[in-house]
Amino acid sequence: MPWPPPDALHDFLRSRRSIRRFLPEPVPEGVLSRLLETAIYAPSAHNLQPWRFAVVRTDEAKGRLADALTAQMRRDMAARGEPEEAIAAREARSRRRIAEAPIIVMLSLDTSVHRDPNDPREPHMLVQSMGIVGLQILLAAHAEGLGGVWVCWPLYAQEATREALDLPPTWAPQGMLFLGYPAEAPAPPPRRPWRELTLWR
């Protein structure tokens, strides 16, 4: 019998949801360590393991991150000519989401990592590896009874994010995972049937 039992594993994989509202309960450090230990078993192109993690847990660090991300959000929305009320509402919502996330794991790609820097496909492989490590963390979190969501805002403000969290200069933030004990149980967003997405040859 394969381990874990396939039915149980498929149910587990399908039951992961993006969780955006959290209970105000802390995530124990031991649990976080386990998530990151499991994260590093993710596959990566050429086994380059380009991922780097910053665990954001203090109000002070979250505040600096919120300042950096919302400043960029403001600039982008203003440049698109969006009204001040819409900008202010979005800023307040984003600040609240950051403040209320018990833990934020900032996922960065270490741009100094290469096998062949002249290979134009290499950047794609490295970014693909980042997506996989993010899912590995989300699934490990799900196994611990935690909820999480990938949030892409840092991609819009990579430099500011790096400065706000005092990350090394070669770290390029790709996204952040909000993690915590879930305060919601959303229904699965609709999926396109896999048969419509698949060709057999």
Ligand X SMILES: Cc1cc2nc3c(=O)[nH]c(=O)nc-3n(C[C@H](O)[C@H](O)[C@H](O)COP(=O)(O)O)c2cc1C
Tell whether residue 20 is a contact of ligand X (CB under 6 A): yes
- Report the nearest approach of ligand X to the CB of residue 8 (Å): 19
Tell whether residue 94 is a contact of ligand X (CB under 6 A): no
CA distances from 140 to 46, 94, 137 (A): 23, 25, 5
Residue with the closest Cβ to ligand X?
18
List binders of ligand X among 122-181 (CB under 6 A). 149-153, 175
Nearer Cβ to ligand X, position 52 or 142?
142
- Report the nearest approach of ligand X to the CB of residue 3 (Å): 25
Cβ within 8 Å of residue 55, ≥6 positions away:
32, 36, 103, 104, 105, 106
Nearer Cβ to ligand X, position 119 or 184?
184
Tell whether residue 189 is a contact of ligand X (CB under 6 A): yes
Candidate segments 13-21, 23-31, 46-54, 110-118, binder of ligand X by CB under 6 A = 13-21
Tell whether residue 53 is a contact of ligand X (CB under 6 A): no
Nearer Cβ to ligand X, position 20 or 90?
20
Nearer Cβ to ligand X, position 63 or 131?
131
Q: Which residues bind ligand X (CB under 6 A)?
A: 17-18, 20, 149-153, 175, 188-189
